[in-house]
Structure 1
Amino acid sequence: MIRLRVLVGVSALLATVSACTSSSQPCAGVGVTSGVGVMFLREGYSDLVGASYELCARGTCATGELQQEDITRVNLGLPDDVDPDGGTVRFRVTPKGSTSPEIDASTDVKLVRQSDGCGGGAYSRGLAFTKKGGLTTKIPPSLTAAWRRHLKELAAPSTGATTESP
């Protein structure tokens, strides 16, 4: 009787673990989360190093401090059961030592479903912010190119040579 219970338990576990692998397509099953992200190109702005940012949507906000970068990606995680219908996304940046934001932009956004390849998924949306274009769901090619350059710079090995003294 114990062997039968163990066999049933192991079978159930294997069925659960392999649920996504029963198809011929690979199953991601991880890495898909609900949220809103903004790629922010600082071109045309004064020094915003140390400035605080706030990204809000669906009654939730993410805050932080900007680092020394020409392009930044800011993310706000949302609950998995978030309502995908239209709602306002607001992005604010306040320079260090100031009480009034230099950037205060908002737009109405409908979230888009991303599948995890296993029958699940999440609702999210990527946005862009540039001085010229404001906050938009249409990511300009120049911003995409700047983000790719940024990622390549992060991936490149350091070129600074060190010397050791004898």
Structure 2
Amino acid sequence: MMLKRVIMVIMLGLIFSSCDLIYYGKIAVYENKYRAEREREREELSKKDGPGAIMTDEYKESVERATQDIMKRPINKKVQFEGATFIIPENTRLNPKHGNIVDEKTGYGIAITFTLSLYCMSKKVNGTEYSLFYNSKYNANVARIAKEIIRVNGFKDTCK
């Protein structure tokens, strides 16, 4: 009888002390899931037509050449994005997945993105706030193209 109680106490101790292990295991599963989602998103953005194509060594030089070519083009092509019309450079299109500009000749994406998330360069159309985000960290020509698109489309700097 006494042996039965001792075994029962030991088992209860093991059961209650293992709750932490279950909890930490659950956290590890959620962390891995979140990490996998971020990795998948990063890979998606770094594809040939994504805004992060210039960060991929394989595409870097080609994206720079495409950006130089886009700089020479007039900004006169009208495109639809989430219910609003914007004007972008000739022979380019918007990537429907990310909203970034893609050169139609080469298929390379550049780091100029139209978005519904609020950034400093924004414009209100029919009650909806649209923003333009650009990353000129890897290519200075992107800033020149973006500033011209901002001017043509009437975006305002809302961070001042």
Structure number having the greater helix percentage: 2
TM-score normalized with structure 1 length: 0.28
Structure number having the greater strand percentage: 1
Highest relative contact order (Cα 8 Å, sep 6+), 1 or 2? Answer: 1
**Larger CA Rg, structure 1 vs 2:** 2
TM-score normalized with structure 2 length: 0.29
